[in-house]
Structure 1
Amino acid sequence: MRKKDRELTAPADLLAIMQAADRAVLAFNGDPAPYLLPVNPGVEWTGDRFILYLHGATEGTKYRYLVDGAPVSFEMDAHHALVADRDRGYCTMYYASVIGQGIAYELLDAEAKARALQVIIDSYHIDEGFAYNPAALPRTRVFKIEVRAITGKAKGPKV
């Protein structure tokens, strides 16, 4: 990373960015070009690794790339603010972001799928106690991405 003063390494800092982001963009090796997939993930820190959870309908183009054991890259960002100094003719953007790589695994067990969906719901701070309709489980595919590498970066106001 070129600007080491912007690098974030503490899991708590990385998790805070991931929780503040309302989407992630996944990237897969595609043909004829990389395939990008915006998703609304749930995220958790297990004590030694980050896990992203995502869900979707049972069919779609994404499943050509999102298969069990697929390598995936991802990006998440939050806290955007444009800063403009008209007198100096200067502008910049404040932000916080993470970029990572991991391996995708499909969750087939109903209990694992249900838990992952609850993590996703909790990630979006829906009213406590919100219960999704379990009838959705058979018509929903759920994946977890075990994060293998992650970097974080932020630029913001000096404290």
Structure 2
Amino acid sequence: MRRKDREVTDFETIVQIIDECQIIRIGLADGEFPYIVPLNFAYTVTGTQIEFYVHGAMAGRKYELMNKNGKCSFEMDIPLEMDCIIEKKDVTMRYKCVMGTALITFLEGDEKQKAIDKIIMNRYEETRNFEYNHNTVKRTAVAKLTVIDLTAKVNPIAGGAD
């Protein structure tokens, strides 16, 4: 990382950034060009191991590429504000981000149902008692992304209020 002054190494701070993010973008190998997909996600932390959970149709380009290679890169970010520094005639974007690589595993059966019930739905619907169509689960792919490495960066708002 070129800007070591922006690197975040504290694990709890990295998890806090992840928790603030709403979208994960995964990069998948597809011949000459990578294929990038934005997805809603949920996650778990066990010790220092982070696992992301994403879901979608059991068909299509994303599903095929995830199955083909079993690996992905990922990125998530929080844009904070653009900062025009008049006295320096400079501009910078204030942000927080996490990026890395992961191994992809598709979940099946009880493991898939548990991921939907306890992880994905709790991230987005914890205050509601939402009941979903269990037949839809049969047609939904749930992938676990086991993080193998990650980095995080922050370009904080001047004065530290972010």
User: What's the TM-score once normalised by structure 1's chain length?
Assistant: 0.88
Which residue is 2:116 aligned to? Answer: 117
For residue 75 of structure 1, what is the aligned residue in structure 2? Answer: 75
1:116-135 alignment to 2 at 5 Å? 116-118=115-117, 119-124=119-124, 126-135=126-135
1:89 equivalenced with 2:89 (yes/no): yes
Identity fraction in percent:
29
SS at match of 1:115: helix
- Measure the CA separation in 1 of the matches of 2:42 and 2:20: 11
Q: How does 1:95-110 map onto structure 2 within 5 Å? A: 95-109=95-109
Instruction: Please report the TM-score for the alignment, with normalisation by the length of structure 2.
Output: 0.87
Residue 92 of structure 1 deviates from its aligned partner by 1.2
Question: Which residue does 2:42 correspond to in 1?
Answer: 42
Partner of 2:9: 9
Count of aligned pairs between the two proteins? 158
Q: In the alignment, which residue of structure 2 is the partner of 1:18?
A: 18
Q: Deviations over 1:12-59 (max 9, x none)?
A: 111111121111111111123111111111112111300000000121
In the alignment, the residues of structure 2 paired with residue 10 and residue 94 of structure 1 have an alpha-carbon distance, to the nearest angstrom, of 19
**Could you tell me whether the CA contact under 8 Å between 2:94 and 2:154 is conserved in 1?**
yes
| Cα deviation code 1:95-137 (max 9, x no counterpart) | 000111010000012x211222231222235524434332221
Aligned residue for 1:67, secondary structure, equals helix
Give the number of the structure whose residues are more often helix, by fraction: 2
For structure 1, the 5+ residue unaligned runs are none
Cα 1:3–1:87 change in 2 (3 A) is closer
**Paired AA for residue 98 in structure 2:** V
Q: Is the 8 A contact 1:19 1:123 kept in 2?
A: no
Amino acid at match of 1:107: L
Structural RMSD (CA): 1.9
Gaps of 5+ in 2: none
Q: Encode CA deviations 1:126-149: one digit per residue, 9 max, x unaligned.
A: 524434332221111100000010
Say if 1:115 and 1:128 are closer, same or farther in 2 by CA, change over 3 A.
same
2:24 and 2:38 in contact (8 A); partners too = yes
| Matched letter for residue 123 of structure 2 | S
**1:69 CA drift (Å):** 6.3
Q: AA paired with 1:50?
A: I
Range 141-150 or range 1-10, more displaced: 1-10
